[in-house]
């Protein structure tokens, strides 16, 4: 009897009166994604893209990446850009690829900044570049921003771009890097590339 009383005293008032509450049911990733949770949409897109736990389905992956990307999920934006560039689950569309890579880069994703820097660098090397100087400046800017985050190969790529630049172009690029880092919206000029 004494041990029963000691056990009763150790049990909280709430527990004695109401018992233990059932644990809340875990909502599935699919349900969360349908409800609009960006991280769940990204996870579901990754499952379909990689074929983990489900059959590989690039069209479904693109669908879920797009839903997450539209909510500014930076990794979804990056993945969607790659899918448009490669034509995986969506028609190959360089304009859409560029749109999503730019959004991810502007949100600060180092991989997107690196890829955007490489895009600008390649544009500056075209046989008849429309604005090679502007492309080099933008390439340098994005590669520097990527390198500032420690992204692999950014430093080397920026060094290659730098070899083709004038002192004035490098100064302009460094000003744009500083503007971007300071959060000024004018860090990227309209009509670049």
pLDDT digits (tens, 9 = 90+) for 27-73: 898 999 999 999 999 999 999 999 988 899 999 999 999 999 999 99
Report d(CA 57, CA 73) in Å as an integer: 20
By percentage, how much of the chain surpasses pLDDT 70?
81
Backbone angles phi, psi at 183, to 5 degrees: 85, 20
Domains along the chain?
Answer: 31-106 (1.25.40.10), 110-186 (no CATH)
Q: What does the CA dihedral 105, 41, 83, 70 come to, rounded to 10 degrees?
A: -50
- Tell me how many degrees the CA angle 9-13-18 measures, rounded to the nearest 5: 125
3-state secondary structure at position 86: helix
Residues sharing a CB contact under 8 Å with residue 162, sequence separation 6 or more, in sequence order: 140, 170
Q: Per-residue pLDDT for 3 more than 80?
A: no
CB atoms within 10 A of CB 9: 8
**What's the Cα-to-Cα distance from 150 to each of 100, 113, 145, 146, rounded to whole Å?**
22, 12, 9, 7
Q: Is the pTM of this model over 0.85?
A: no
Mean local confidence (pLDDT), 127-136: 84
User: What's residue 26's pLDDT?
Assistant: 78
- DSSP secondary structure letter of residue 72: T
Helix or strand run (H / E) with residue 160 = helix 154-162
Q: Count of alpha carbons within 13 Å of 187, Cβ hemisphere only?
A: 22
Q: Per-residue pLDDT for 20 more than 70?
A: no
Contact 186, 179 (CB under 8 A): yes
């Amino acid at each position: 009897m004494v041990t029963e009383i000691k056990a009763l005293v150790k049990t909280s008032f709430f527990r004695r009166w109401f018992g233990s509450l059932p644990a809340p049911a875990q909502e599935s990733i699919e349900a969360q994604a349908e409800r609009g949770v960006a991280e769940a949409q990204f996870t579901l897109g990754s499952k379909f893209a990689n074929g983990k736990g489900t059959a590989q389905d690039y069209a479904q992956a693109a669908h879920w990446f797009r839903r997450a990307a539209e909510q500014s999920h930076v990794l979804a934006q990056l993945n969607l850009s790659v899918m448009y560039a490669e034509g995986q689950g969506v028609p190959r569309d360089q304009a859409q690829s560029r749109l999503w890579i730019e959004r991810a880069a502007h949100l600060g994703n180092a991989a997107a900044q690196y890829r955007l820097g490489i895009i600008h660098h390649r544009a500056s090397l075209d046989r008849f570049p429309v604005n090679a100087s502007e492309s080099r400046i933008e390439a340098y800017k994005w590669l520097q921003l990527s390198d500032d985050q420690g992204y692999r190969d950014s430093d080397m790529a920026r060094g290659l771009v730098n070899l083709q630049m004038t002192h004035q172009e490098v100064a302009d690029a460094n000003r744009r890097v500083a503007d971007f880092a300071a959060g000024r919206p004018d860090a990227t000029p309209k009509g670049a590339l």
